[in-house]
Structure 1
Amino acid sequence: MRLGLQINHSAWPDGPRRPGAELAAVARTAEAAGFHSIAVMDHFFQYREPGPSEGSMPEAYTTLGLLAAQTSRVRLLALVTGATYRPPAVLIKAVTALDVLSGGRAELGIGAGWHQEEADGLGLPFPPRARRFEHLEETLRIAEHMWSAEESPFLGTHFRLSRPLRSPRPPSRPHPPVMVGGAGERETLRLVARYAQACNLAPGPKLAHELAVLRAHCEREGRDYDSIEKTLVLPLDIGPRGENVDALLTTMGEAAGLGITRVIGTVPDVRSIAPLELIGARLIPAAARL
Structure 2
Amino acid sequence: MTAGTPELGVFVTPEAATYPDVVRQVQAAERGGLELVGIQDHPYQRRFLDTFTLIADLLARTERVRVFPDVANLPLRPPPVLAKTAASLDVMSGGRFELGLGAGGFWDAIAAMGGPRRTPGESVEALEEAIAILRASWSGERSVRFAGRHYAVDGWHPGPPPAHPIGIWIGAYGPRMLRLTGRLGDGWLPSLPYAPPERIPEMQRRIDDAAASAGRDPGAIRRILNVGGEITGGPATELLQGPPDHWIEALTGFVLELGFDGLAFWPTGGGDDLGQIERFAAEVAPGVREAVARGG
**What interval of TM-score do these two structures reach, taking the shorter chain for normalisation?**
0.7 to 0.9
2:63 corresponds in structure 1 to 72
Do the aligned partners of residues 245 and 32 (structure 1) sit closer, same or farther apart at CA in structure 2, a change above 3 Å counting? same
> What are the residue-to-residue correspondences of 1:30-69 with 2, within 5 Å?
30-46=29-45, 56-69=47-60
Q: CA deviation at 1:270?
A: 7.3
2:265 corresponds in structure 1 to 265
Instruction: Name the SS for the 2:86 alignment partner.
Output: helix
Counting aligned pairs with the same residue, the percent is: 25
C-alpha contact 1:149 1:165 (8 A) present in aligned 2: no
Q: CA deviation at 1:272?
A: 5.5
Give, in whole Å, the separation in 2 of the partners of 1:264 and 1:203.
Answer: 15
Do the aligned partners of residues 161 and 120 (structure 1) sit closer, same or farther apart at CA in structure 2, a change above 3 Å counting? closer
User: Structure 2 length as normaliser, TM-score?
Assistant: 0.86
- Larger mean CA deviation between 197-206 and 85-94 belongs to 197-206
1:169 corresponds in structure 2 to 161
C-alpha contact 1:4 1:263 (8 A) present in aligned 2: yes
2:220 corresponds in structure 1 to 227
State the one-letter code of the partner of 2:245: D
Give yes or no for the alignment of 1:116 onto 2:121: no
Q: CA deviation at 1:275?
A: 1.9
State the one-letter code of the partner of 2:282: A
Instruction: Name the SS for the 1:203 alignment partner.
Output: coil
C-alpha contact 2:44 2:110 (8 A) present in aligned 1: no
1:25 corresponds in structure 2 to 24
Instruction: Name the SS for the 1:230 alignment partner.
Output: strand
C-alpha contact 1:2 1:284 (8 A) present in aligned 2: no
Runs (4 or more) in structure 1 with deviation over 6 Å come to: none
1:49 corresponds in structure 2 to none
Give, in whole Å, the separation in 2 of the partners of 1:156 and 1:162.
Answer: 8
> What are the residue-to-residue correspondences of 1:1-290 with 2, within 5 Å?
1-9=6-14, 15-16=17-18, 19=19, 21-46=20-45, 56-157=47-148, 158-172=150-164, 175-185=165-175, 187-201=176-190, 202-239=195-232, 243-256=242-255, 257-268=257-268, 273-289=274-290, 290=292
Deviations 1:236-269 (A, max 9, x none): 4212589522222222122112221111231245
Give, in whole Å, the separation in 2 of the partners of 1:236 and 1:263.
Answer: 12
Give, in whole Å, the separation in 2 of the partners of 1:81 and 1:270.
Answer: 26
Q: CA deviation at 1:217?
A: 0.8
Instruction: Name the SS for the 1:58 alignment partner.
Output: coil
- Larger mean CA deviation between 278-287 and 112-121 belongs to 112-121
- Larger mean CA deviation between 255-264 and 133-142 belongs to 255-264
C-alpha contact 2:10 2:277 (8 A) present in aligned 1: no
C-alpha contact 1:82 1:110 (8 A) present in aligned 2: yes
Give, in whole Å, the separation in 1 of the partners of 2:39 and 2:127.
Answer: 19
C-alpha contact 2:107 2:118 (8 A) present in aligned 1: no
1:51 corresponds in structure 2 to none
Give, in whole Å, the separation in 2 of the partners of 1:270 and 1:9.
Answer: 16
Alignment RMSD, CA only?
2.0
Instruction: Name the SS for the 1:148 alignment partner.
Output: coil
Deviations 1:81-129 (A, max 9, x none): 1221111100111111111111101111111111123213322222222
Count of aligned pairs between the two proteins: 273
Q: CA deviation at 1:163?
A: 2.6
User: Structure 1 length as normaliser, TM-score?
Assistant: 0.87
Instruction: Name the SS for the 2:286 alignment partner.
Output: helix
Give, in whole Å, the separation in 1 of the partners of 2:7 and 2:229.
Answer: 12
State the one-letter code of the partner of 2:167: P
Structure 2, gaps ≥5 residues long: 1-5, 235-240
C-alpha contact 1:44 1:59 (8 A) present in aligned 2: yes
Q: CA deviation at 1:280?
A: 1.6
Instruction: Name the SS for the 2:189 alignment partner.
Output: strand
C-alpha contact 2:128 2:180 (8 A) present in aligned 1: yes
Give, in whole Å, the separation in 1 of the partners of 2:271 and 2:132.
Answer: 36
State the one-letter code of the partner of 2:158: R
Give, in whole Å, the separation in 2 of the partners of 1:271 and 1:122.
Answer: 33
Q: CA deviation at 1:227?
A: 0.6
Structure 1, gaps ≥5 residues long: 47-53
C-alpha contact 2:143 2:158 (8 A) present in aligned 1: no
State the one-letter code of the partner of 2:202: H
